[in-house]
Structure 1
Amino acid sequence: MNKNIFSQIYSDYTQRIETGLLKTGIKLPSENEIAEEYATSRETVRKALHLLSQNGYIHKIRGKGSFVLDMNRMEFPLSGLVSFKELSERLGRTVQTLVHETALVPSTQSIARQLKIAEGEPVWKVVRAREIEGEKVILDKDYFLASVIPVLNEDTARDSIYAYLEGELSLKIAYAKKEISVEKVSEEDRRLLDLARDTHIVIVRNYVYLEDTTLFQYTESRHRLDKFQFVDFARRNPGEE
């Protein structure tokens, strides 16, 4: 299989679907037609379509073909582990990150409990509001182990902390545990977000681990109720229970 062509097919079709060029319910060209378009084998096309299917872009119906699934731009995935910068590239909207705090602080009792460290152990505290189409609708409060990340600055927080961790520090971020709740808004929420008369907010708590199983990040991601729906994409594998 030609990996470059495989990646090109996958990239082309994800872009067409995410930008709305291919609408929900549209049938994709046949494997033969795509193979002819890219001058490649049906096997390469089949593998690209399989990946599109696994990632929730299309649904393959035996004997009928592949059809585009609904990709709501304001849906936030529950599964997977992506940075806001990576996610914002899919939204197709004007986004901005407003950094309110980037500081090395002693962990409070509450944060120490979340990160399973001793109270007072230093952590990086990062508070960022996410603005989408001119409205501040997400407040991210991150805490990172200073023993894992020795330096963190405002420019990195404004751009992408994960790009810095993986690119410059060569850290391998592996997996996360997520908890979701609906709670009353705080004074900080009202001060940093555009909440209007909202009384409650959706909170996604993330516990993020490195490849060596080190819990190095705890995040409270606070979302305005009316702007998002949190989704997962599950595909049934017959025979599994």
Structure 2
Amino acid sequence: MMRAKYLQIAADLTNKIKHKQYVAGDFLPSEPALSELYNVSRETIRKALNELLDAGIIQKIKGKGSVVINAARIAFPISNIESFDELNKQKQMNAATKILELKDAQMPFIIRKHLSLTETAATYVARLRLINHEPIVVDEDYILKKYVPDISLEQAKSSLYHYFEHDLGLEIDYASKTITVEPASKDVMEQLHLTDTNLVVVVRSLTYLKDTSFFQYTISQHRPDKFKFVDFAHRKAKNGGLIL
């Protein structure tokens, strides 16, 4: 299935930045210029630029335009639910996945107790994520067999979410996430080639289907020198009043 036009434009601009056509400190062409270049509406260009903004690749400066910022760290959105494969395609990360382990398991006790689960049989998938051949993150997933009976090695190596949604028809809707900085195990230190620190950024996610059924627990351990996390928040008005 062909990606939306704004995503194609975002990927093309990202690729141009990656290959130094635009470097940190450069302003991208104006919205009208980009609209003419890609033969699309300005609304489509705005959506494409927002993708780059959310990815931490550009910063919008009022009255001046979109400036390329230093992207030494790769931004992972926290508010969205996106697979590594989707991020790779969107951000042109030259990423790869190595399967560390794939086996039958039980959902961890702390999750079973927290959610009062009665069906606990799960598939455990551990994957090492690499970008430009450099190890970046270790992902561990526990997926309830009630919703996903089997996962093949090939499915685990590509996009699990594509398999869940397109092959199994699951409707993935929302996730709750916690972020901490913790000491890494010896195995994770070796897998991520950590030498200057024993700390990793840990993102734990509980993911739910549209009918509010819990089905997946994820532990992602990130190298702290390579990743930044991006969120977008609005300040809520108090007592129905305006915030000035």
Aligned residue number for residue 79 of structure 1:
79
Take 2:71 and 2:154, find their aligned partners in 1: how far apart are those partners? 30
Measured after TM superposition, the shift of residue 25 of structure 1 is: 4.3
Aligned residue runs from structure 1 range 129-140, under 5 A: 129-140=128-139
Measured after TM superposition, the shift of residue 192 of structure 1 is: 3.6
144-153 vs 193-202, greater mean Cα deviation: 193-202
Aligned residue number for residue 193 of structure 1:
192
Aligned residue number for residue 101 of structure 1:
101
Q: Retained in 2: the 8 A contact 1:143–1:218?
A: yes
Q: Retained in 2: the 8 A contact 1:10–1:48?
A: no
Take 2:190 and 2:11, find their aligned partners in 1: how far apart are those partners? 40
The number of residues matched between the two structures is 231
Q: Retained in 2: the 8 A contact 1:208–1:215?
A: yes
Q: Among the aligned pairs, what percent are the same residue?
A: 32
Take 1:108 and 1:208, find their aligned partners in 2: how far apart are those partners? 15
Structural RMSD (CA): 3.3
TM-score, structure 1 length as denominator?
A: 0.77
- Which runs of no fewer than 5 residues in structure 2 stay unpaired? none
Distance 1:18 1:165, change over 3 A: farther
- Which runs of no fewer than 5 residues in structure 1 stay unpaired? none
Measured after TM superposition, the shift of residue 160 of structure 1 is: 1.1
SS at match of 1:194: coil
Q: Retained in 2: the 8 A contact 1:115–1:216?
A: no
Distance 1:235 1:104, change over 3 A: same
SS at match of 2:44: helix
Question: Quick check: 1:49 aligned with 2:45?
Answer: yes
TM-score, structure 2 length as denominator?
A: 0.77
Distance 1:208 1:20, change over 3 A: farther
Distance 1:235 1:16, change over 3 A: farther
Take 2:116 and 2:174, find their aligned partners in 1: how far apart are those partners? 17
Distance 1:104 1:11, change over 3 A: same
Aligned residue number for residue 229 of structure 1:
228
Take 1:175 and 1:74, find their aligned partners in 2: how far apart are those partners? 26
